[in-house]
A and B are shown apart, each in its own frame.
Chain A
Amino acid sequence: MNTKLISFVLNGEPVSVRVDPFELFVDVLREKLQLTGTKKGCGEGGCGSCTVLINGEAVNSCLLPAMRVEGTSIQTIEGVEDNGELHPLQTSFIEKGAVQCGFCTPGMIMSAKALLDKNKSPSKEEILEAVSGNICRCTGYVKIEEAIEDAAKTLRKAAVKGESHG
């Protein structure tokens, strides 16, 4: 088998890792890089718990051959906090009760972050579309939507003050 060394930027740091030709990226993250914040749920692109950002776009890492990550910039839930300070999305999810069992939360936050990185004033419809590929079996989604709206508000205030949240 022709294993390959792939190089990419992971949460702001350059990394190289050797992968099998058809290894899936979620397995590389969890098994080889020990980044287990990204969850593996259905394993077929149906639940969104494995969502990561590739060049800023939300994708299912369970459907992504690791080879395709070569040369890209990847962000996982581990890269969302900034110098030990939680991202407003993380704070809002906690404060608004948008976390129950927590299994969907990393994927849910990554999908929401892909939206808020581009649009800090999303409509309710845009929020719901952004997380429509993420299934939560606990919360009923209302708290999640409220948390994303709340985080957007925090980010807008921070933008006015000139603070940054990567």
Chain B
Amino acid sequence: MVQDYVFPGTVEQAVAMLAESKGRARVIAGGTDLVLDMRDGKITADKLVDLRAIDGMQRIVEHDDSISIGASVTHSQIVRSTLLRHHAPGLVDACRKVGSLQIRNVATVVGNVVNGNPAADAAVALACLDATATVVDEQGTRTIPFNELYAGICISCINSSCQIVTQISFPKKKAGEGSSYIRMEQRKALSLPMLNVSSKVRVINSQFQDVQLLMAPVGAGPQHAVTAEDFLMGKDITDENIRQAGVLAREQATFRSSAVRGSKEYRIGVLPVCVERALRAAIADAQEG
């Protein structure tokens, strides 16, 4: 039973408030998942530490070479950001797909990642962007690569009773780079993705250079389609190569049948098409400049 609800004014205060509760307090950002998990008894806490009042947490910040998204930034803020539309169109598309407008106005992108769901839209879109998370606890501040944030399926490495992800950052788009996000869904609003794919490519002289291709939910956190990525490196951008990348991703994918997300067979069937669409969209973004 929650006994107290507090609004620290600084990250240091927030960490201290968590620490003094010795594991019985918990961070709340947007709360759209946490409220339900607490109602259903999946998560219990004596105290909720709300990050809303901490200065700077609500901002998307452009640095010289990177962009950072504060812990209180909502999905709607991402959708409206012209900066992110240029540097991370896949992330904007992903955030537009989450829940409903009412959810997007409250739910945070960092919360979407810390929740640990492997197919969380924003998380999958961020996974291809070489993102990092800034984690603060009593021991200090650390920067953790995005793929090290997941401990298992729907299990985060972040312990929200003593750690705070203050921001997620990723490099700005460079010449020749493009990114994208594609999801398969049962309907356009209020639906979980049946599967999702994100991609970032660097295109030089009509050839694939760096290729990041992520898919979910096929493991703990978004997973690299490693064989497809390796195959595309240095290859010409052709319909045949893009198609082959989809086939290679399918061979690696290990979907499980799910009452909510669809059957394993159906999702394996449509994955190559989603991979092709994601690659084509990332290439188009790269060529757009």
Contact = CB atoms under 8 A, between A and B. Distances in A.
**Bound together:** yes
Interface residues of B, number: 28
B31 A63 contact: yes
A130 B2 contact: no
Contacts of A44: 36
A46 B32 CA distance: 11
Nearest to B101: A133
Contacts of B50: 65, 67-68
B99 interface: yes
A4 B5 contact: yes
Contacts of A59: 102, 105-106
Nearest to A46: B190
A63 B101 contact: no
A39 to B, nearest CB: 14
A111 B102 contact: yes
Interface residues of A, number: 31
Contacts of B48: 21-22, 65, 67
Interface in B78-136: 99-103, 105-106
B31 A132 contact: no
A10 interface: no
A132 B32 contact: no
B38 interface: yes
A22 B2 contact: yes
A133 B3 contact: no
A60 B2 contact: no
B174 interface: no
Contact of B52 (A58, A63, A68): A68
A45 B50 CA distance: 20
B35 A133 contact: no
B32 A21 contact: no
Interface string A39-66: 0000111101001000001111001110
Interface of B: 1-5, 7, 28, 31-32, 35-36, 38-39, 47-48, 50, 52, 76, 99-103, 105-106, 188-190
Given A65-B50, A111-B102, A133-B103, 19 more contacts: A2-B4, A20-B2, A21-B2, A21-B5, A45-B36, A46-B190, A51-B102, A57-B105, A59-B106, A60-B32, A60-B103, A60-B106, A63-B31, A70-B7, A114-B101, A129-B101, A132-B188, A132-B189, A135-B190
- The 3 residue pairs across chains A and B that have the minimum distance between CB atoms: A133-B100, A22-B2, A132-B189
